[in-house]
Amino acid sequence: MTETPEIYGTTAPGFEPVREAFAANWQTGNEIGAAFALMIDGETVVDLWGGWADRKKSRPWAEDTIVPVFSTGKAVTAMVMAKLVSDGVISYDARVADYWPEFGRAGKERVTVAEALSHQAGLAGFPEPMEPSDWFDRDLIEDRLAAMHPLWALGQGSGYHPITYGFLADAIARRTTGKSVGGLLREDIAGPRGIDFHIGTPEPLHARAAEHVLPPRAPFLGKTNDIKAAAFLKPWSTPGRKGAAEWRMAEFPAANGHGTARAIAELLSPFACAGKLRDAQLIAPDTVEAAMMERVSGPDRVLPFDLAIGAGVMINRDSGHYGPEPRTVGHYGFGGSCGFADPVRGLSGSYVMNRQMDVLSGDPRAMALIETVYGCL
């Protein structure tokens, strides 16, 4: 039997079963270190952590341990973009080319911001050979995206954009505000409130970062096609060859956010609380509704799922990946992390860990916790 570590943190009265479910995840043998947080109406009701921050189990997972959450950060990026819409800086219905004129080439002149954020722009990856280190050259990647022809006929469904989603959002943000998505988080949203989530993690914080352990096998992607290969399967499909420190410091808004579970739960609380973050109306309620509105649904060209996608968030519907509420939105990250927000119950939460599993969405460890939460309500 696997040793269950001491579990730290707090649970509000009535949520004790969540602590039990969190501890039980170690009995599967699939956990090293992890954290889980839950907020209701912006108030923290669960904040738990335990285990180890490294594979050798020499460094305990602490209250302030941060961890890379990969695509879970897409939901945080969606929240940042929703704030820009709420502030009148951009519109979901505007064309990307209205803000980024060079983008309006190669048949992409009519792609809207909402379509770009809902994986409909046809730019899921680069089919032509490149160096994995090219991803660290933001201008080069933006130039390639602007010049690229869509990989499928636009208006005909989604194809998940693992890395390029973040470059599209970032290009729009920088051209309208002068700040990157990571910069907006640092300067306007998370930083001033002391919320511990970072896109572009400063080097002094790296000592707090957990070491992630890769899954035992690659996730199942279904039948391969050229679009799926460009997105996930080419040697250059993901950033590389720069080292861990450079990767942590780079800004990949789709893929390398680092933070705590409580930070993600809080940053997604505007989706659960009609736009409120703590006591401030960060995002207008109608913008939150627009962000969570279904923009596309059906079989995805990259992920082996039927998806329903809002402006940067996945919509639960009947998947059960984020609990029983169909209107819940969220995102999973490579290996099992997730963040979610239920606008019906005012509930937001996050599960993060460093032992990655070969699951694209609906990690059993996260789902066990979410199911237990709903059993406590």
Nearest-angstrom CA–CA distance, 291 and 345 = 18
- DSSP assignment letter at 189: I
Rg (the chain; Cα; Å): 19
* Whether residue 133 lies in the annotated active site: no
Long-range pairs for 373-376: beta carbons < 8 A, 24 or more residues apart: 373/15, 373/18, 373/38, 373/46, 373/323, 373/347, 373/349, 374/323, 374/324, 375/17, 376/14, 376/15, 376/17, 376/18
Total residues found in the chain within this entry: 377
Cβ atoms 337, 66 nearer than 8 A: no
Residues contacting 320, CB < 8 A, separation 6+: 362, 367
Residues contacting 326, CB < 8 A, separation 6+: 315, 316, 317, 318
Cβ atoms 346, 272 nearer than 8 A: yes
Residues contacting 242, CB < 8 A, separation 6+: 133, 136, 250
Strand 329-332 to 314-315 pairing: antiparallel
Q: Which of 58, 71, 86, 237 is catalytic?
A: 71
Active site residues: 71
